[in-house]
Amino acid sequence: MSAKLMEYFNRQPRIGVLGTASKDGIVDVAVMGSLQMIDEKTITAAFARGRTFANLQENPNAVYMIMNQGSEILDWKGIRVYLRMREYVTSGPQLE
């Protein structure tokens, strides 16, 4: 991912929606503001132990849609970023 994408991804304020699916194909979307791109290959997020996290454990593929509000609806801009969870942590220094 490029530096330009990283800048757009981390811009605030923004509206972000994360789409996931279970291993059986049951889909879920969640409004998420915690996702941050910390380098061109790494995104971090904080999840409760809900449906989104459960889906990612079963099926690591997801899509994050970021929207930035314009003055009118036709002025809104957005991008989709396709993601794949490679690892997760539930304790340790990364969470402190």
Judge whether residue 1 has pLDDT over 60.
Answer: no
Burial code of 23-60, b = ≥16 C-beta within 10 A, e = fewer?
eeeeebebebeebebeeeeebebebeeeebbebbeebe
> By residue range, what is the domain housing residue 53?
3-85
Decide the pairing of beta strands 36-39 and 61-68.
unpaired
Does 56 map to a domain?
yes
Which CATH number do you get for residue 80? 2.30.110.10
Does 63 map to a domain?
yes
Does 66 map to a domain?
yes
pLDDT of 5: 85
pLDDT tens-digit readout, 15-57: 899 999 999 999 999 998 888 898 888 888 888 878 999 999 9
pLDDT of 95: 66
Does 26 map to a domain?
yes
- Unique residue bearing structure tokens 């929207």: 67
Does 24 map to a domain?
yes
